[in-house]
Amino acid sequence: MSRLDDPIEPLVTGLLKELGEDPGREGLVRTPERVAQSLRFFVKGYGQDPEKILNNALFDVSYDEMVIVKDIEFYSLCEHHLLPFFGRVHVAYVPDGKVVGLSKIPRLVEIFARRLQVQEKLTTQIAESLDQVLAPKGVAVVVEAVHLCMMMRGVAQQNSSAITSSIKGEFETDSKTRAEFMELIRHGRPSFA
């Protein structure tokens, strides 16, 4: 989309004026274009199909132990204030005849994070998508994040973070499986990374 075609740009120009700024001054001349490009990138997940991403990388495997991809970094926009929140996602599942390519799990996180979000919804969307496509014995997702809407405005808490989880199947019914997952995501980065 060219600069002249993006309907977000005049909205940003109007916003700058409402904030008391001069959109024609040197530092702001191209701000509407940059903001439009940034916003479109931040919400590109709306145009991506999570099931398609996962279905293109399913493999029949007789592995039935826990698979974990942890410390997946993400950035998202809070749907309430359009301010960033960011952090790490830890995903686990116990296969039931099918596994998904490991790189598809961070892609799945990215698809849902690149939408206007709340952390709770992000967490459940990742878990439900994996559960639906893989039909595993269990799925667990934990998201740890800091929210600029809490840091920069309102309660102005600089050192707080939020942790959410979505637990399904064996992770919900078997306390040993859940405890193993929680213990494994607690460990720091491996020394070889």
The residues carrying an active-site annotation are: 78-81, 119, 147, 149
According to the 3-state scheme, what is the secondary structure of the chain?
A: CCHHHCCHHHHHHHHHHHCCCCCCCHHHCCHHHHHHHHHHHHCHHHHCCHHHHHHCCEEECCCCCCEEEEEEEEEEEECCCCCEEEEEEEEEEECCCEEECCCHHHHHHHHHHCCEECHHHHHHHHHHHHHHHHCCCEEEEEEEEEEHHHHCCCCCCCCCCEEEEEEEEHHHHCHHHHHHHHHHHHCCCCCCC
